[in-house]
Amino acid sequence: MRIINKFFRLVLVLFMISIISFFLANISSIDSAETIGHHLYGNPSQEQIENIRIEKGLDKPAPIQYIKWLQHALVGDLGISYQTSNPVLSDIKDKLFATVKLVIVSLFFIAVITIPLSLVSAYKKDTLIDKSIQVITILGISVPSFWLGYVLLSIFAIKLPIFKVVEYGNFRSLILPAATLAAPVISSSVKILRTTLLENSEQEYVTYARARGLSYKRILYAHILKNSLPPMITLFFQNIGMMIAGSVIVENVFSWPGLGAYFMSAIVNRDTPAITGCMLILGMIFVISNYVSESINHFLNPHIFTIEEDN
C-alpha cells in the first residue's frame, strides 16, 4: 500500500510540474509566433506571423494548448525547438549526457571530500583544525560559482597551464567545472553532517558504548556516522537535480556543451518548446532523485519509517 501511495504521489507531482513548466514558459509578453517567424524568415510580415500562430495552435486558449502539449508529451514528443529545428527531446538527450558526466564527477568529489572532512571536524571539535574547516566551508558557501570558476581558470589554465581554457572530450576537461559545481555543495554538506554527527554524539547509545570501553573514534566511525547518514543521503540525491539545474552558470563559464547551456540559450532565444521541455525534464530528475533517496533511507533505517507509519 505504501509503494502504491508513493507511486500516485510521484505521478501527481510530475503532473503538477508539467502544468507549472508549460505555463511559466508561456507567460512571457514575447510572442512565440513572432519568435518563430524571425527564426524562419528573418524579418517576417504580419501575415506570416498570423499563419504561424494558426499553424502552431498558438491562437488557441492556454488550457487548450496545454492539453495538446500534454498529449504529445505523454508519448515523448516535446515539440520542435525554434533555434535548432530539431525535436526538443532529441536535443535534451544530447545535451543531458554531457551534463550528467559533469554532475557524476561532481558527486564523486562531494562523496569523497564531505565525509572525511566532516568526521575530522567533529572529532577535532573546537580545535584549530575544526575552526579552519568551518572557515573554508563558509567561504565555499558564500563564493559565487561563476567567480570561483573564473578564479580556477585563471590559476590552473592561464598562470599554471595545467588545463585548457576551453576543453571538452576527456576526463581532464571535467575536473575544473566539476570542482566548481561541487564546491558549494561540499561546503554546505560538511556543515550539516558535522552538526548531525555532534548531535548524535550526545545520544544514549554513545554513552552506553563508551561505558563498554569503546573509544570515541571507533564509535564515531562505526555507529554515529551510520545514524547520521540518512539526512545526508536525502541531501545527496536532492543535489543531483539541483546541480543539473544549477549547471547553467558553470557550463557557460567553462563553455561546457550541456543541458544548462542549452537551457540558457533557449531562454535567451525565447525557445518556448525547449524551455518547457528542459523544465519538465529537470523537474522529473529532481522528483525521481527524492524518491531514490527516500528508498535508500528506508533500506538503511527501516525502523524510522515504521515509527512514522504507526503514528
Q: So what's the pLDDT on residue 76?
A: 85
Q: Which of 256, 103, 285, 259 is nearest to 179 (CA)?
A: 103
Q: So what's the pLDDT on residue 307?
A: 43
Q: So what's the pLDDT on residue 243?
A: 83
The residue assigned the cell 571535467 is: 174
Q: So what's the pLDDT on residue 138?
A: 92
Neighbours of 290 (CB within 10 A): 17
Structure-block grid coordinates of residue 67? 492539453
Q: So what's the pLDDT on residue 43?
A: 80
CA atoms of 201 and 205, how far apart (whole Å): 9
pTM of the predicted model, to two decimals?
0.75
Q: So what's the pLDDT on residue 257?
A: 85
CA atoms of 280 and 88, how far apart (whole Å): 11
Q: So what's the pLDDT on residue 2?
A: 62
Q: Which of 132, 90, 34 is nearest to 262 (CA)?
A: 90
Q: So what's the pLDDT on residue 117?
A: 92
CA atoms of 180 and 173, how far apart (whole Å): 12
Q: So what's the pLDDT on residue 310?
A: 47
Domains recognised in the chain with CATH numbers? 1-75 (no CATH), 94-300 (1.10.3720.10)
Question: Angle CA(187)–CA(169)–CA(88) in degrees, nearest 5?
Answer: 85
Q: So what's the pLDDT on residue 251?
A: 85
Q: So what's the pLDDT on residue 259?
A: 87
Give 3-state DSSP helix, strand, coil % of the chain, rounded to 5: 80, 0, 20
Q: So what's the pLDDT on residue 206?
A: 80
- Contact in structure between 285 and 118 (CB atoms under 8 Å): no
> Which positions of the chain have pLDDT values less than 70?
1-3, 28-30, 165-166, 169, 297-311
**Strands (E) located in the chain:** none
Return the SS3 of 126. Answer: coil
For 40-81, the DSSP string reads HHSS--HHHHHHHHHHTTTTS-HHHHHHHHHHHHTTT---B-
Structure-block grid coordinates of residue 219? 564509535
Q: So what's the pLDDT on residue 231?
A: 77
